[in-house]
Homo-oligomer: A and B are copies of this chain.
Amino acid sequence: MVRFELLHTSGRSRRGRLHTPHGTVQTPVFMPVGTAGAVKALRARDLLDLDAEMILGNTYHLFLRPGHELVRDLGGLHRFVSWPRAMLTDSGGFQVLSLSERRRISEEGVEFRSHLDGRALRFTPESVMETELALGADVVMALDECPPSLSDRAYHETSLARTTRWARRCRDAWRADSGSSLFGIVQGGLHEDLRRRSAEEICSLDLPGYALGGYAVGEEPRAMHDGVRFSAPLLPADLPRYLMGVGTLDDLVHAVDAGIDMFDCVLPTRCARNALLFLRTGRGRMNLRNASLARDERPPDEACGCHTCRNHSRAYLRHLFVAKEITGATLATLHNLHTYLRLMADMREAIEQDRWEAFRTAFFAARETPDAAGTAS
């Protein structure tokens, strides 16, 4: 079972520790996404070198390939992917709705067809619990429905009521002897009263942690930031608060400012494979395919101490992407994850030292200053 320890607050921001069967995780934490048993383009060793303390696996992908029963029979997901530290699995509900075909939601669960081979499949709260417990992550998420933010209010209302009933069924199907801790997910879109209702219902289930779902699914960033700022305090102060699927570096600072403890997002890894680097300063991003970098010998981010920036030039990285070399994806992924994890470490330190407000102000000021290095966006 996981246990959360709140160490310090600075403003609304929180510095804590999540104790898990696979080690203690310093929060606020960003979890790199290891979709199908690998953070794409990296080895487990690279994630240890980056000092990632917790990673995420996607239940939908692992259910399809290699299958949760195989993973269970081989000793669980940690062992299968050789990851010794903490791990969380989502419920697969989000991927079912975003990736699969011919999906149909009913009270019982979701029927869908695999995006890989079209076979007809079904997720129910009970089946998802079985799948996640077979994978055996330290934290497992309840099956929820995550409607687009801008769905109409009536749909959000219907959906969150069902998400509550599913969460209850997940709790009933979860097994206390499993070693996995179940987190519930609050929905409700951008409607404050629905978020409040969902939080009351979900948080009454007496779970060891809670998540905010349904953000960064179509709304403007500002609306998301305001929504998270409203919703975060609805979750119990003594338990970990996880904002699912978010976001940019700016989003992370906004959400920590609102009192969030845990994050995951494919953005740093997916963008890296598309030659987009995230920077801490200036305009915030660098497209490595940009022709202006062809003879630029500077490191991608001159202020960065990652493997990529210590060893390689913009010109070389641009060449790797132009030449379609796999190595480019690896080097860009290392940089982006380093930048994300380093930001989390800096935020943790600022909270500990009670200078969160100064940190936050300086962070956004640096973002708005044109980069002296003249990085291209």
Contact = CB atoms under 8 A, between A and B. Distances in A.
Nearest to A307: B45
B41 A315 contact: no
A340 B186 CA distance: 54
A360 interface: no
Given A80-B315, A295-B70, A313-B74, A323 B65 contact: yes
A37 B74 contact: no
Contact of A74 (B81, B297, B323, B328): B297
Interface string A143-154: 000000000000
A1 interface: no
A38, A45, A70: which has the most chain B beta carbons within 10 Å?
Answer: A38
Given A37-B320, A38-B320, A74 B315 contact: yes
Contacts of A86: none
Copies in the complex: 2
A1 B319 CA distance: 29
A295 B74 contact: yes
Nearest to A297: B74
A65 to B, nearest CB: 5
Interface in A35-84: 36-45, 61, 65-66, 70, 73-75, 80-82
B65 A319 contact: yes
A322 B61 CA distance: 12
Contacts of A327: 38-43
Nearest to A322: B65
A294 interface: yes
Given A38-B328, A43-B330, 14 more contacts: A36-B323, A38-B327, A40-B325, A43-B311, A44-B311, A65-B322, A73-B295, A74-B297, A80-B313, A80-B315, A81-B316, A82-B316, A326-B329, A326-B330
Q: Which 10 A-B pairs have the closest CB atoms?
A: A38-B327, A41-B326, A66-B319, A36-B323, A38-B325, A82-B311, A65-B323, A82-B312, A326-B326, A74-B315
